[in-house]
């Protein structure tokens, strides 16, 4: 999306700073800029809009309804696509607001420290354009049980692949398989648009098996062409309740001539921290059979060191919310550094997710992270395009 097509609302009570923000946005070429001087007037105006703005640039320290309360309303009522927090307040408070906003399900582009500059705003606005394909659900996605079953039966839900590379030399060593639903007409729905419905309808096991099967099939095709990559597949916590999944996953990978050690199963941190006996049993058996186990989105759950040491993980993935912007945000960098140190002590492979800039790449390399994944390296792509994505990738020169 070009900047001229963006719409931005500025919510700032200080007149000079509000005018400065709108002027900078106009100079950058933003197509539609409007403003409000406090939280309540911003809400009133947004509720009257036919379409929500792309971005709301909000100061936290507002009179009456403060910016934190305003963001809560924006998220709960769907009054904006994304938020940018502009404030001179302490970083820990800004980090808490960012985490709160994400928990509400709204995208946070950045925390910008005042005073605003053209360079700061330009970088943030361009990041919105980079991710425009992730913002809104496809119109008309039918997530009824009948439609979901038909899609699974027809093979319309398929894996796309995002490369993981070594930070030391930039070589592609693995891919993460990400579910995509190819809709009639060619539109592509992303996981957040249909996976909750699959879980609700009790169909998540079928999805996992479908993605694992497709990933192994592509792995075999790539290997025949000389491209050897491990594959990582996400596993819902709901799949860990059945002992049968161990034999099912073994059967799928072996049907393609793939060894379990070439497959990593990614488990979200919060899904295994309850110490449910059945989940631990399944994870232990999967590891015993040779599958790699990755703790995904590390740092977003509420794990303890003792729990982590008791679960047979082989890999730790640092969540993108910590990697993004970490080179310029000391608190995020500290979380990344501590996570990597923990991984080293537990003898786990380390993957940094969401790497989008050369600065983030260099930071992970400097901190001793082993692998990186993110848009800097490549976007998720269909299996037939993955070799080209890998071939065009070039390691940044530090």
Q: For residue 139, is it within any domain?
A: no
Q: Given 134, 158, 182, which residue is the final one in a domain?
A: 134
Asked if 20 and 130 sit in the same domain, the reply is: yes
261: its two tokens = 């050690």
Question: Please, are residues 269 and 322 in contact by the beta-carbon 8 Å criterion?
Answer: no
Q: Given 112, 134, 156, which residue is the final one in a domain?
A: 134
The C-alpha atoms of residue 372 and residue 374 are separated, in whole angstroms, by 7
Write the CB contacts of 8 (distance below 8 Å, at least 6 apart in sequence): 25, 30, 32, 33, 34, 53, 54, 55, 56, 57, 125
137 band by pLDDT with thresholds 50, 70 and 90: very low
Asked if 196 and 273 sit in the same domain, the reply is: yes
Quick check: 313 pLDDT over 80?
yes
Supply the range of the domain harboring residue 102. 3-134
Q: For residue 140, is it within any domain?
A: no
Cis peptide bond upstream of 380, omega within 30: no
Catalytic residue among 266, 353, 356, 360: 353
Residues 90-119: what's their mean pLDDT? 76
Given this model, what pLDDT does residue 302 score? 45
Residues 337-356: what's their mean pLDDT? 92
Residue 69 annotated in active site = no
Q: For residue 86, is it within any domain?
A: yes
Asked if 257 and 292 sit in the same domain, the reply is: yes
Label residues 21-36 b or e (16+ Cβ within 10 Å = b).
bbebbeebebeebebb
Q: For residue 397, is it within any domain?
A: no
Asked if 95 and 160 sit in the same domain, the reply is: no
Given this model, what pLDDT does residue 297 score? 65
Asked if 299 and 152 sit in the same domain, the reply is: yes
Domain harbouring 341, CATH code: 3.20.20.450
Domain harbouring 28, CATH code: 3.40.50.2300
Asked if 166 and 251 sit in the same domain, the reply is: yes
Given this model, what pLDDT does residue 322 score? 85
Asked if 123 and 256 sit in the same domain, the reply is: no
Q: Given 71, 102, 134, which residue is the final one in a domain?
A: 134
Residue found under tokens 């993460």: 176
The C-alpha atoms of residue 38 and residue 10 are separated, in whole angstroms, by 10
Asked if 114 and 200 sit in the same domain, the reply is: no
Indicate the pTM of the whole model.
0.74
Asked if 130 and 175 sit in the same domain, the reply is: no
- pLDDT, one tens digit per residue, over 255-300 is 999 999 999 999 875 555 444 677 888 999 999 999 999 988 675 5
CB neighbours of residue 293 within 10 Å: 21
The C-alpha atoms of residue 171 and residue 157 are separated, in whole angstroms, by 29
List, as one string, the DSSP characters of 51-97.
Answer: S--SEEEE-S--SSS-HHHHHHHHHHHT--SEEEEEE-S-HHHHHHH
Question: What number of CA atoms fall less than 13 Å from residue 288's CA on the CB side?
Answer: 8
DSSP SS3 for 41 = helix
Asked if 108 and 152 sit in the same domain, the reply is: no
Q: Closest Cα to residue 257, out of 306, 211, 297, 219? A: 219
Q: For residue 13, is it within any domain?
A: yes
Count structural domains, the chain: 2
DSSP E strand stretches across 287-341? 292-298, 315-318
Asked if 159 and 122 sit in the same domain, the reply is: no
Asked if 75 and 162 sit in the same domain, the reply is: no
């Amino acid at each position: 999306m070009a900047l001229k097509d963006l719409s931005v609302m500025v919510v700032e009570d200080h007149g000079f700073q509000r005018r400065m923000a709108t002027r900078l946005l106009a100079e950058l070429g933003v197509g539609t800029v409007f403003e409000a001087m406090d939280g309540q007037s911003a809400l009133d105006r947004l509720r009257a809009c036919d379409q929500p703005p792309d971005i709301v640039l909000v100061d936290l320290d507002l009179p009456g309804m403060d910016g934190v309360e305003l963001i809560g309303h924006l998220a709960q009522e769907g009054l904006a696509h994304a938020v940018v927090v502009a404030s001179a307040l302490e970083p820990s408070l800004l980090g808490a607001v960012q985490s709160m906003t994400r928990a509400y399900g709204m995208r946070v582009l950045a925390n910008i420290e005042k005073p605003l500059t053209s360079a700061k705003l330009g970088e943030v606005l361009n990041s919105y354009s980079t991710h425009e394909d992730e913002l809104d659900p496809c119109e008309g996605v039918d997530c009824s049980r009948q439609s979901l079953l038909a899609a699974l039966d027809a093979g319309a839900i398929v894996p796309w692949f995002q490369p993981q590379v070594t930070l030391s030399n930039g070589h592609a060593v693995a891919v993460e398989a990400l579910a995509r639903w190819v809709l009639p007409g060619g539109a592509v729905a992303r996981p957040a648009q249909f996976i909750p419905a699959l879980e609700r309808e009790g169909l998540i096991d079928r999805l996992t098996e479908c993605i694992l099967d497709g990933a192994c099939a592509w792995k075999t095709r790539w290997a025949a062409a000389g491209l050897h990559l491990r594959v990582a597949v996400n596993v819902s916590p709901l799949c860990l309740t059945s002992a049968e999944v161990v034999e099912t996953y073994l059967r799928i990978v072996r049907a393609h001539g793939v060894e379990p050690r070439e497959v990593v199963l990614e488990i979200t941190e919060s899904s295994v921290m309850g110490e449910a006996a059945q989940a631990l049993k399944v994870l232990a058996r999967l590891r015993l059979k040779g599958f790699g186990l990755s703790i995904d989105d590390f740092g977003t759950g509420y794990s303890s060191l003792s729990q982590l040491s008791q679960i047979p993980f082989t890999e730790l993935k640092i969540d993108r919310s910590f990697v993004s912007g970490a080179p310029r945000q000391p608190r995020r960098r500290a979380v990344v550094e501590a996570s990597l140190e923990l991984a080293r002590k537990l003898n786990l492979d380390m993957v940094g997710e969401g790497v989008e800039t050369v600065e983030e790449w260099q930071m992970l390399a400097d901190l001793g992270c082993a692998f990186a994944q993110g848009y800097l390296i490549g976007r998720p792509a269909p299996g037939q395009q993955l070799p080209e994505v890998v071939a065009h990738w070039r390691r940044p020169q530090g």
